[in-house]
Structure 1
Amino acid sequence: MNKSVRPAGSLRPFSITYDVQPHAEGSVLIRMGNTHVLCAVSVENGVPPFLLGKEQGWITAEYGMLPRATHTRGRREAAGRGQSGRTLEIQRLIGRSLRMMVDLRQLGAHTLRVDCDVINADGGTRCASITGAALAVRQALKAMVREEKLEQMPEILPVAAVSVGVSDGNVVLDLDYMLDSTADVDANFVMARDGRWIETQMTAESSPLAPEKFSLMASMAWEGIQQLFTLWDE
């Protein structure tokens, strides 16, 4: 039985607020239910050493949770032994997803550094980060054109992400913490607006997942992501 009051195939209420950090070339606050993530993009001249001479730019991401983003205070990773494996895995996922948005050769010798900071966590933080950061990258590219760092706006392939899980045998879209913490299966789906999948992460917690159930999860993710792409039309 779905523990949430939402229908199993519906998203939590979602919204975007732009320009929350006016010093950044692009910034948004994305809200997915009670998950709130601040995404900001900084444009830097130059590229990482491994790209020198390759005539292309780069997009990379950093992810973190503020200490009171959760029910109890979390230790700042910078005050401990460094980033956890979970943090590194999430920010690499965000970076990979964002690099699908644009032909990096059109960025010139620039690096777009994306910071995703979770203000409040209630499940689906990595998916919210991808969806919000993609919109912030679009803002940053527009700023680069205005500032004549780019001659013209690159062609953008919008990207969004959503979680799907299996709870008490039922497929559920956009898991909040209560559902995610007890789900039999949880997955994250990242998709481009043209319908192609970018990445899928899935873990079965109790028993292997049947193929037909996975197909239902992918179908539900597709429908949810279509709703998130309406943010690009605002």
Structure 2
Amino acid sequence: MTSSPSSRLPVREGRDLLTPRPLTLERAINPHAPGSAHLKLGRTEILATVSIEDKPAPHMRGKKEGWLTAEYAMLPRATTDRQARERNLQNGRRHEIQRLLGRALRASIDLRHFRNQTLYVDCDVLVADGGTRVASVLAGYAALHDLCDRLIHSGTLTEWPLVHTVGAASVGLVGDELRVDLDYAEDKVARADLNVVATAGGLVIEAQGGAEEGPISPEEYVRLLTAGVEAVGGLLRELERQL
């Protein structure tokens, strides 16, 4: 007897289809960075650091606000097989993720508090098991929170600069099942997937992704987006508990 397609789908252990993987966070992990965080989402691990340069980005000279840019890299043994260091490659995926991170994190902060300065958020993947870009958004936000907390306590800033709590979650259709926070085994067989970036209040910043095995219906897309926003809310509640 042959097995049905549904019986060959990746099996989840310890969580249902709409429950994200366990999230753990450690702040102030890097003694040299003014803001840093080490975040685990299941087996995916991200180290995020924030640096401040007292120099405006070229396109922000003369403006009333500063700028935030993000960089993303995957360490050679973040995956099962060694990969060449990404700084040596023209990697379109990496550049796409960096732009996503920058847009997401700029939405979280009032950059008028950093006039004539540039914030650099570096997200490095230590271990990859799916969802590295969404975990990087969460880690990057935690590192920014760490930075802002230090600036407030030192008296460098007198007003809290974070205006939105921002996070992200992956969501996909695996067979006919809607699943949130896909690990690698699920992601590689999903027939559609989205990376949803949203605020704790349920406002959407970005949805990135699409169908992998042919078109999906508008109703399926809306279900994915809605589930993604709800998953972001749950992840951010856990993140805020650990901040």
Cα offset, 1:104, TM superposition: 1.6
1:151 shift after superposition:
3.5
- Give the Cα separation in 2 of the matches to 1:102 and 1:139: 13
Q: How many residues align?
A: 232
Q: Secondary structure at the match of 2:71?
A: strand
Aligned-residue CA RMSD (Å): 1.4
Q: What is the alpha-carbon distance in structure 2 between the residues aligned to residue 30 and residue 221 of structure 1?
A: 19
Instruction: Tell me if structure 2 keeps the 8 A contact 1:108–1:150.
Output: no
- Cα deviation code 1:3-46 (max 9, x no counterpart): 13232111111111111112111111111111001011111112
- Structure 1 residues 155-212: Cα deviation after superposition (integer angstroms, max 9, x where no partner): 4211000000111121110010001011101110000122110000122111111111
Aligned partner of 1:48: which letter? A
Structure 2 counterpart of 1:226, from 220, 223, 233: 233
Aligned to 2:29: 20
The residue correspondences of 1:5-154 to structure 2 (distance < 5 A) are 5=12, 6-78=15-87, 80=88, 82-154=89-161
- Relative to structure 1, is the Cα distance of residues 203 and 166 closer, same or farther in structure 2, using a 3 angstrom cutoff? same
Distance 2:116 2:150 in 1: 16
Q: 1:83 to 1:41 in 2, by over 3 A?
A: farther
Residues 40-79 of structure 1, C-alpha deviations (whole Å, 9 max, x = no match): 111111211110111211111000000000010000123x
Q: Tell me the distance in 2 between the aligned counterparts of 1:112 and 1:93.
A: 16
Indicate conservation of the 8 Å contact 1:69/1:121, yes or no.
yes
Give the unaligned 5+ runs of structure 1.
Answer: none
- Per-residue deviation, residues 97-144 of structure 1 (Å, max 9, x unmatched): 000012222222221101100000000000000011011111112223
Letter in 1 for 2:143: A
* Amino acid of the structure 2 residue aligned with 1:30: L
Q: Distance in 1 between matches of 2:160 and 2:115?
A: 12
Structure-1 residue corresponding to 2:189 = 182
Query: What secondary structure, in the 3-state scheme, does the structure 2 residue paired with 1:9 have?
Result: coil
State the SS of the aligned residue for 1:143.
Answer: helix
SS at match of 1:217: helix
2:199 equivalent to 1:172 = no
Scaled by the length of structure 2, the TM-score of the pair is: 0.91
Structure 2's unaligned 5+ residue stretches are 1-5
Distance 2:45 2:80 in 1: 14
Contact map agreement 1:8 1:171 (CA 8 A) in 2: yes
Cα drift, residue 145 of structure 1: 3.1
Measure the CA separation in 2 of the matches of 1:110 and 1:145.
17
Aligned AA for 2:240? Answer: W
Q: Which amino acid aligns with 2:233?
A: Q
Matched, 1:191 2:192: no
* Contact in 1 for aligned 2:199/2:232 (Cα 8 Å): no
Percent identity of equivalent pairs: 39
State the 1:219 CA deviation. Answer: 2.1
SS across alignment from 2:19: coil
1:54 aligned counterpart, secondary structure: coil
